[in-house]
Amino acid sequence: MNIALYGYGKMGKAIEQVALAKGHRVVLRVDHGNAGAAPVGADVAIEFSTPAMALGNMRLCLRHHVPVVVGTTGWLEHLPEIQAQVQAEQGSLLWASNFSIGVNLFFKLNRQLAALMQGQRPYQVGITETHHVHKLDAPSGTAITLAQDIGLHTDRYHGWALTDAPDAPKAGAGTEGPGTVPIESVRTGEVPGTHAVTWRSPEDRITLTHEAFGRQGFAVGAVVAAEWLVGRQGLFTMDDVLDGLY
């Protein structure tokens, strides 16, 4: 499989190492020096650049009929436009806020627990996400996905808000009416990424936690997604990949 990499920072280089180890070839590496380069000769593109560059890269790949896997976050307000182009070009695009297989299983558990909490009014939810000091955006795309999924699976919550204390959300949140999911963003050291969803009642606490040990898990998931996407047509997420794998 010939791969075009859009974004050749730490994540792009980790993806390259995984791809080469699996017997694939990287035929294009795009960074600021050659921005806008077309994915000529590629079977699939993997996009891990910046929100400012991601839309252009996606559109470019779709115009060239090259399937594209997108790990960049911060562009989802444009998803309807991308979906329309996927349909118009009869192309294929797979996006996710996090490509780690473990995180996507974590997403599934989060949705299941949120549904179970629909009738458990004493429990209130909070999310904590911890990353390295070099990560400038807050909250993380993964935390936002967790919060959005909670809102989709229980009518007790709608939307999210940054807070200093997600484990002690505002009294009444999610009890009498829809509350926002509180998210605490911590930036410290070189932490690759830790996410915790906590449901707390006056009597006890339930916490789901995912801790990444490095970038390898994200890179492996991105390459697995690219392998899965080749030969398919449409707009997909990692849920589709996991359903296909298992």
Q: Is the pLDDT of residue 169 over 70?
A: no
If pLDDT is split at 50, 70 and 90, which confidence band does 154 have? very high
User: Tens of pLDDT along 62-91?
Assistant: 999 999 999 988 888 899 999 999 999 999
User: Tens of pLDDT along 201-228?
Assistant: 999 999 999 999 988 889 999 999 999 9
Domain 2-99+215-245 shares a fold with domain 101-211: no
Dihedral sign, Cα of residue 14, residue 18, residue 19, residue 20 = positive
Q: Which listed residue (24, 131, 195, 210) is catalytic?
A: 131
The pLDDT score that the predictor gives to residue 141 is 85
Q: Which listed residue (13, 64, 135, 158) is catalytic?
A: 135
**Would residue 37 be called left, alpha or beta, if left means φ above 0 and alpha means ψ between -120 and 50 degrees?**
beta
Instruction: Kindly state the percentage of the chain with pLDDT values over 90.
Output: 76
CB contact at 8 A, 210 and 101: no
User: Tens of pLDDT along 19-74?
Assistant: 999 999 999 999 988 999 999 999 999 999 988 899 999 999 999 999 999 998 88
If pLDDT is split at 50, 70 and 90, which confidence band does 177 have? low
Residue 13 is among the residues annotated as catalytic for this protein: no
Q: What is the CATH number of domain 2-99+215-245?
A: 3.40.50.720
If pLDDT is split at 50, 70 and 90, which confidence band does 244 have? confident
Domain boundaries of the chain, sorted by first residue: 2-99+215-245, 101-211
Residue 135 is among the residues annotated as catalytic for this protein: yes
Instruction: Report H helices in the chain.
Output: 10-21, 51-63, 79-89, 101-116, 141-153, 216-229, 238-245
The pLDDT score that the predictor gives to residue 171 is 37
Q: Sheet containing 157-162: which strands, arranged edge to edge?
A: 157-162, 179-187, 124-131, 194-200, 205-211
Class (C level, CATH) for 101-211: alpha beta
Rounded to 10 deg, the angle between the 101-116 and 238-245 helix axes is 100
Residue 68: CB partners within 8 Å, gap ≥ 6? 44, 45, 46, 47, 57, 58, 61, 62, 91, 92, 93, 94
Looking at per-residue pLDDT, the higher value among 246 and 146 belongs to 146
The pLDDT score that the predictor gives to residue 165 is 57
pTM summary value? 0.80
Give the CA count within 13 Å in the CB-facing half-sphere of 194: 15
Residue located via tokens 């294929």: 92
Residue located via tokens 């974590």: 106
